[in-house]
Amino acid sequence: MNAPLIDPFARAITYLRVSVTDRCDFRCVYCMSENMQFLPKKELLTLEELDRMCSTFVDLGVKKLRITGGEPLVRRDIMTFFQSMSRHLDSGALEELTLTTNGSQLARFAQPLYDAGVRRVNISLDTLDEEKFVRVTRWGRLAQVLKGIDAAQAAGLKVKINAVALKDFNEDELITMTQWCASRDIALTWIEVMPMGDLGNEDRVGQYWSLNDLRHQLSQHYTLTELSERTGGPARYLRLEETGQKIGFITPLTHNFCESCNRVRLTCTGELYLCLGQEDMADLRAPLRNNPKDNVPLQEAIHQAIGLKPKGHDFDYSRQKADGQVTRHMSHTGG
Ligand code: SAM
Ligand code: SF4
């Protein structure tokens, strides 16, 4: 049962993303509705259950763990989870423990995260304009996030900014954000908006700003060199020759990256999603909770689930509607 996780397309699964909560202190327009209904507490895996779950994946060969949400740093006592996971870094079983955060709580948590062995952090930031920041996050305050970024860098964490490319919203900040990141030695990755969750009043096709267009706009200001490096995920990278900066592009809608996919996603309720763009999932909470002293049923359930990992996703905007759309929100599966 301790055999490594290999899916039906011979891809080794070595990367687990874990959403530790569906809650958040922001309400970003492309991610959540304003009046979200969150899950009752008993549905959530406890921190001890999350530990057992993640440790089982590490036993099965997972080398990289990314903690996400919702906003992972609003989960009560989450630092005890990070501290406990650091034992797998110490043993060498885990190569990297990292997180994706909106940055709002980093002023408090950057140093304890570093002390727990975290070395890199992805921070989501779509604009450097205070008023626009309120518009896109509904509840967020830019100054608090900027303080969080300062704290992360002061603690020694390598920061990467993830920005969602939004038409008529941050197009005009392409160069200012690039320059701001260069001046602070921060890597920048642009994400194409994905058709997640119910569309509600938000017209996600209207929000769509193609990264091909973004790249073209960048090429008017910088000399771009394509980099061959891949991470097993949907990101591709360019270097800006004038600044030496690396710019990432996550384009799930315009490129097929699935052939090298090495990852699966665990929700805070213990559902394992095999692909961000498909509904295929397996419940791991039952085998975990029903067998508190025996890990074999959980290992079996994980192996069985990996055996169902689909070849790829079906997102497509080409017909001017969000085809291949999945109904769950990003805050459920984690970004
Ligand atoms: N709260 C944390 C944060 O914002 O970084 C972690 C969870 S959030 C769901 C993870 C990432 O998903 C963020 O970078 C966010 O911008 C991105 N995201 C959310 N909804 C999206 C969508 N519809 N399309 C593309 N990216 C999305
Ligand atoms: Fe919260 Fe992150 Fe979703 Fe924004 S993108 S609402 S910060 S979970």
Q: Is residue 10 part of a domain?
A: no
**Ligand 2 cavity residues, CB under 6 Å:** 24, 26-28, 31-32, 69-71, 102, 124, 330-331
At 205 the pLDDT is 47
- Separation between Cα atoms, residue 234 and residue 253, nearest integer Å: 10
Q: Give 1 Cα–ligand 1 centroid separation in angstroms.
A: 34
- Separation between Cα atoms, residue 5 and residue 56, nearest integer Å: 12
Q: Is residue 190 part of a domain?
A: yes
Q: What share of the chain has pLDDT > 70, as a percent?
A: 87
Digit-coded pLDDT (tens) for 168-222? 999 999 999 999 999 999 999 999 987 655 545 455 446 789 899 999 999 999 9
Q: What share of the chain has pLDDT > 90, as a percent?
A: 74
pLDDT at position 250 over 80? yes
At 258 the pLDDT is 76
Q: Give 164 Cα–ligand 1 centroid separation in angstroms.
A: 8
**What's the DSSP call for residue 133?**
H
Probe residue for ligand 2, chosen from 30, 32, 267 as the CB with the greatest number of ligand atoms within 8 Å: 32
pLDDT at position 115 over 90? yes
Asked if residues 237 and 255 have their Cβ atoms less than 8 Å apart, the reply is no
The torsion angles phi and psi of 106, rounded to 5 degrees, stand at -70, -25
Q: Is residue 222 part of a domain?
A: yes
At 333 the pLDDT is 59
Asked if residues 187 and 248 have their Cβ atoms less than 8 Å apart, the reply is yes
124 pocket-lining for ligand 1 (C-beta < 6 Å)? yes
Q: Is residue 279 part of a domain?
A: yes
Q: Is residue 75 part of a domain?
A: yes
- The SS3 call for residue 14 is coil
Residue-averaged pLDDT of the chain: 89
Determine which residue's CA is closest to atom 8 belonging to ligand 2. Answer: 70
How far, in whole angstroms, is CA 41 from its chain's centroid?
22
Residue-range definition of the domain harbouring residue 30:
15-333
> Which distant-in-sequence residues (6+ apart) come within 8 Å of 319 by Cβ?
none
pLDDT at position 26 over 50? yes
Provide the β-strand partners of residue 164.
191
pLDDT at position 328 over 90? no
Please tell me the least confidently modeled range out of 11-20, 136-145, 165-174, 314-323. Answer: 314-323
Average pLDDT rounded to a whole number, residues 45-61: 98
Average pLDDT rounded to a whole number, residues 116-134: 98
- Separation between Cα atoms, residue 173 and residue 179, nearest integer Å: 10
Average pLDDT rounded to a whole number, residues 308-325: 59
At 252 the pLDDT is 67
Q: Give 123 Cα–ligand 1 centroid separation in angstroms.
A: 10
Average pLDDT rounded to a whole number, residues 128-148: 97
At 320 the pLDDT is 41
102 pocket-lining for ligand 1 (C-beta < 6 Å)? yes
Average pLDDT rounded to a whole number, residues 309-313: 79
The confidence band for 332, taking pLDDT boundaries of 50, 70 and 90, is low
Determine which residue's CA is closest to atom 8 belonging to ligand 1. Answer: 335
Q: Is residue 3 part of a domain?
A: no
Q: Give 4 Cα–ligand 2 centroid separation in angstroms.
A: 32
At 322 the pLDDT is 47
pLDDT at position 244 over 50? yes
Q: Give 334 Cα–ligand 2 centroid separation in angstroms.
A: 9
Q: Is residue 256 part of a domain?
A: yes
pLDDT at position 256 over 80? no
Count: domains in the chain:
1
The torsion angles phi and psi of 174, rounded to 5 degrees, stand at -55, -50
Q: Give 330 Cα–ligand 1 centroid separation in angstroms.
A: 6
Q: Which atom of ligand 2 is nearest to the CA of 32?
A: 6
Which listed ligand is nearest to 27 at the C-alpha? 2
At 315 the pLDDT is 54
Q: Which atom of ligand 2 is nearest to the CA of 102?
A: 7
At 321 the pLDDT is 42
At 194 the pLDDT is 79
14 pocket-lining for ligand 1 (C-beta < 6 Å)? no
Q: Is residue 296 part of a domain?
A: yes
Please tell me the least confidently modeled range out of 52-56, 86-90, 139-143, 324-328. Answer: 324-328
pLDDT at position 263 over 60? yes
CATH number of the domain enclosing 208? 3.20.20.70
At 228 the pLDDT is 86
267 pocket-lining for ligand 1 (C-beta < 6 Å)? no
